[in-house]
Amino acid sequence: MDPMPLSFETLMAYLNRAIGQIKDPRQPSNATQYRLSDVILGAFSVFFMQCESFLEHQRQMSSRCGRDNAQTLFGLIRVPTDAQIRNVIDYPC
């Protein structure tokens, strides 16, 4: 079998498919601000872009321009804060 070329779009399709299979252990409430997929994609984007301030830059860009790269490249609906990502990752199951 020949190796399949990996593009960014293919990588994101695989990642989104895997994220879709993850059950969110959190109880729905007013305190649940971010979708689990936004948290996972937000964390992935920091590692992919290799920039620890990527998410903060995206929030600033969104407030100035109305759109940001996190939405365009990674499909985030809302860009979570670093603290929110840590809270969800540390959520007791």
In tens, the pLDDT along 13-68 reads 999 999 999 998 888 877 788 889 999 998 888 888 777 787 778 878 788 888 78
- What's the CA gap between 2 and 83, in Å, rounded? 42
Residue with tokens 């670093």: 82
| pTM for this prediction | 0.74
> Domains in the chain: how many in total?
1
Structural domain contains residue 91 = yes
Residue 61 belongs to some domain of the structure? yes
Q: Give how far Cα 78 sits from Cα of 3, 10, 44, Å.
A: 35, 22, 14
Q: At 66, which amino acid appears?
A: G
CA dihedral (48, 50, 53, 59) positive or negative: negative
Closest to 40 in 3D by CA, of 71, 5, 16? 16
Its domain, for residue 68, covers 48-93
